[in-house]
Amino acid sequence: MTLSQRMQTLTGGGSDGWDVFLKARRMIAEGTPVVELTIGEHDIRTAAPILQDMHRSAMGGHTGYAMVPGTDALRDMVARRTSERTGVPTTRDNVLITPGGQSALFTAHAAACDPGDTALYIDPYYATYPGTIRGVSAVPRAVQTRAEDAFQPRAADIAAHAPDARSLLINSPNNPTGTVYSRATLDGIAQVCMEHDLWLISDEVYDTQVWEGAHVSPRALPGMAERTLVVGSMSKSHAMTGSRCGWIIGPEEVIAHLITFATHTTYGVPGFIQDASVFALGQGPDFEAEIAAPFLRRRAIAQRVLGAQNTIGMIPAQGAMYLMLDIRATGMSGDDFANALLDQHHIAVMPGESFGNAAAGHVRVAMTIDDAGFEAALRRLTAFAETCARAA
């Protein structure tokens, strides 16, 4: 039997730069202690009161099919939170609950693109983006950013690709760079979207992890609510990665179609997960800040460690749980550096090349281990970079 082209070409061929990650996994399986700084997942687990609420809901019988668009309670809660955070009036009719942000990304592209349409995304990018676009039989096209701009996209670069495109996917705070898009960047992006009639798909799953500046949702910019689909999730804000609960926010008439799409694809999210999400969101911004706090602390550690040397450059890390480090002074590619660091020091980081072309000569460090271990690993990484730079 022959598989569809869509399935066969989903990853675009090749390893997509996951070699270092897979090598680290093999080393760990063989018993080598590896310091794992590759994964975008908290080092804490979902809080016990959230799990207790999930248990209460399941034991209370909320184990059957749930409402496909999401429960009224969760849609209302997400809508209220969105209105409060962005100032854009939002009701449950603007919200579809999805099995995680990833499903929301897929659904949003299915809404925006027909087969063969060009869908733009920003390089460096979150690993699943091109495959998600191929998954709806659209054609992914990367718009490059530059390290010297701290990876803020330039509107002119997007405009150059816009004439034959249907959609643009952005992500702020950004994985992998930690960049938070400025108001000026977002104004420029909004302008291009309006001029070229593009859908804007705004991945805001890190919106509670902002260390510098403020998170601006482009849906709040003039004229943008009608063409913006916002992707959100409980994964990063509430340490609920395994619960698979996210959402899309968009115009009412679009959400109505996406509910039909969800009926024919996911059939919704389990009721007890949705109830626990209502409980978690009900804990308010203080709880969200508590979940985000370790990354802010570790960013301060990184600023202290890296501030004392000048071999490695650090992209400002304005948000999210990652550091993007410029290791070009070593004369090595991100790939070679990450491989050598893993082989010689048993520290696993992601090569910048795993996230596209724009972050070549960089490595991404996830701030996802305890503070002391993180500081020790960063010191070893720095010393290694200095040795490599001297030899270069």
Q: Which stretch binds ligand PLP (CB under 6 A): 59-67, 96-104, 149-157, 180-188?
A: 96-104
Query: Sign of dihedral through CA atoms 333, 339, 342, 347?
Result: positive
How remote is the C-alpha of 175 from its chain's centroid?
5
Start-to-end CA distance of the chain, whole Å, equals 52
Q: Does the footprint of ligand PLP cover residue 203 (CB under 6 A)?
A: yes
Closest separation between CB of residue 43 and ligand PLP, Å?
Answer: 15
Closest separation between CB of residue 126 and ligand PLP, Å?
Answer: 4
Q: Given candidates 94, 209, 241, 318, which one binds ligand PLP under the rule CB under 6 A?
A: 241
Nearer to ligand PLP, 40 or 312 (CB): 40
Closest separation between CB of residue 255 and ligand PLP, Å?
Answer: 18
Q: Does the footprint of ligand PLP cover residue 171 (CB under 6 A)?
A: yes
Is there a contact between 133 and 119 (Cβ–Cβ < 8 Å)?
A: yes
Q: Does the footprint of ligand PLP cover residue 368 (CB under 6 A)?
A: no
Helix axes 271-281, 72-86, angle to 10 degrees: 30
Tokens of 378: 């960063």
Nearer to ligand PLP, 102 or 333 (CB): 102
Q: Does the footprint of ligand PLP cover residue 295 (CB under 6 A)?
A: no
Q: Does the footprint of ligand PLP cover residue 124 (CB under 6 A)?
A: no
Phi-psi region of 14 (alpha: psi -120 to 50; beta: other; left: phi over 0): left
Q: How many Cα atoms within 13 Å fall on the side-chain side of residue 213? A: 19
Nearer to ligand PLP, 150 or 240 (CB): 240
Q: Does the footprint of ligand PLP cover residue 355 (CB under 6 A)?
A: no
Q: Given candidates 71, 152, 177, 233, which one binds ligand PLP under the rule CB under 6 A?
A: 233
- Output DSSP code: residue 9: T
Q: Tell me the per-residue interface mask from 26 to 65 with ligand PLP, x by CB under 6 A, - otherwise.
A: --------------x-------------------------
**Cα 148 to Cα 316: distance, rounded to the nearest angstrom:** 11
Closest separation between CB of residue 243 and ligand PLP, Å?
Answer: 9
Tokens of 155: 């509107």
Task: Give Cα separations from 112 to 47, 94, 205, 363 (angstroms).
Answer: 36, 16, 19, 32
Q: Which stretch binds ligand PLP (CB under 6 A): 28-36, 100-108, 353-361, 374-382?
A: 100-108
Q: Which residue is nearest to ligand PLP (CB)?
A: 101
* Nearest Cα residue to 136 out of 96, 106, 101, 166: 106
Q: Given candidates 102, 152, 172, 382, which one binds ligand PLP under the rule CB under 6 A?
A: 102
Task: Give Cα separations from 254 to 88, 182, 231 (angstroms).
Answer: 17, 28, 14
Q: What residues make contact with ligand PLP under the rule CB under 6 A?
A: 40, 100-102, 126, 171, 175, 203, 205, 233, 235, 241, 246
